[in-house]
C-alpha cells in the first residue's frame, strides 16, 4: 500500500516539474525582461507552495494509513485514483495560467485566463481537501478559507494585470503553506503565562 502511494506522489512531482519546465520554456522564448523575471518568480513560488501543500503532513500520514489499511483496494481507488483527478487537473490549469502569465504579465487576463489562474489552485486545494477527508478523516478549514480567498481574487481579476493577480494567488498559497508548517505554527502559538 505504501509503495502505491509513493508512485502517485512521484506522479505529482512529475506533473509539477513539467509545469515548471513549460513555464521556463515560455519565458526563454519571450526573453528575460524585468516583467518576465518577476512572472517566473511568481510562477515558481506558486508551484513551490503547491508542492509543499501536497507533500506536507497529509501525504505522509496517508501513505502510512494506506499501508496499514485492511481495505487497501477501495482506499487506493478512492484516494489515489478518483480524488487525485482534481489535484492533477488543478496542476494542469496552473501550468496554463503560468504560461499566460509569462506571455502577458502586464495585461489583464481574459475570463478563461482568470479561471485558470484562480481556478487551478482552487481545484487543487479542493481535491486535496477531499483526499485528506478520505484518508485521514478531517478537513482543514484553512484550505477552505484559501479556496474562498481565491474565489474573491477571481472576482477582481478583470481589474488587475496578470502579474498582480498571479502574485496575489501565490501569496494565498504561500500563506497557507506557512500556516500548515507545524514547527512554525508551534512557534506562533501563544505560550501559557506563568501564574503569580
pLDDT mean values, one per 10 residues, the chain (196 residues): 66 77 80 90 93 80 76 79 89 94 94 97 95 86 95 95 97 93 63 57
CB-based contact 40:102 (threshold 8 Å):
yes
Q: Locate cell 505522509: which residue?
A: 60
> In the prediction, which pLDDT does 46 show?
95
Distance of alpha carbon 146 from alpha carbon 148, whole angstroms = 5
Please state, in angstroms and as integers, the Cα–Cα distance from residue 185 to each residue in 53, 178, 188, 191, following that order: 15, 8, 5, 12
Q: What phi and psi, each to the nearest 5 degrees, are found at residue 108? A: -80, 140
Distance of alpha carbon 25 from alpha carbon 124, whole angstroms = 23
C-alpha cell at 49: 507552495
Distance of alpha carbon 176 from alpha carbon 178, whole angstroms = 5
CB-based contact 50:121 (threshold 8 Å):
yes
> In the prediction, which pLDDT does 10 show?
72
**Burial state string for 83-119 with b = 16 or more CB within 10 A and e = fewer than 16:** bbebbbebbbbbbbbbbbbbbbbeeebeeebbbbbbb
Q: At what angle do helices 57-68 and 111-136 cross, to 10 degrees?
A: 40
How wide is the angle at C-alpha 12 spanned by C-alphas 65 and 109, nearest 5°?
130
> In the prediction, which pLDDT does 134 show?
87
> In the prediction, which pLDDT does 140 show?
87
> In the prediction, which pLDDT does 183 show?
61
Q: Is 118 helix (H, G, I), strand (E, B) or coil?
A: helix
Amino acid at each position: 500500500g505504501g509503495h502505491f502511494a509513493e508512485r502517485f506522489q512521484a506522479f505529482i512531482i512529475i506533473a509539477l516539474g513539467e509545469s515548471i519546465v513549460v513555464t521556463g520554456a515560455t519565458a526563454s522564448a519571450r526573453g528575460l525582461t524585468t516583467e518576465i523575471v518577476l512572472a517566473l518568480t511568481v510562477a515558481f513560488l506558486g508551484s513551490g507552495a503547491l508542492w509543499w501543500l501536497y507533500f506536507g503532513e497529509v501525504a505522509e500520514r496517508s501513505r502510512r494509513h494506506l499501508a496499514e489499511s485492511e481495505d487497501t483496494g477501495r482506499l487506493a481507488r478512492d484516494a489515489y485514483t478518483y480524488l487525485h483527478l482534481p489535484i492533477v487537473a488543478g496542476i494542469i490549469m496552473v501550468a496554463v495560467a503560468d504560461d499566460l502569465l509569462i506571455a502577458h504579465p502586464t495585461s489583464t487576463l481574459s475570463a478563461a485566463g482568470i479561471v485558470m489562474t484562480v481556478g487551478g489552485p482552487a481545484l487543487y486545494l479542493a481535491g486535496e481537501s477531499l483526499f485528506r477527508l478520505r484518508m485521514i478523516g478531517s478537513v482543514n478549514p484553512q484550505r477552505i478559507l484559501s479556496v474562498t480567498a481565491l474565489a474573491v481574487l477571481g472576482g477582481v481579476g478583470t481589474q488587475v494585470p496578470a502579474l498582480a493577480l498571479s502574485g496575489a494567488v501565490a501569496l494565498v498559497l504561500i500563506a497557507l503553506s506557512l500556516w500548515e508548517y507545524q514547527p512554525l505554527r508551534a512557534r506562533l502559538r501563544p505560550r501559557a503565562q506563568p501564574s503569580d
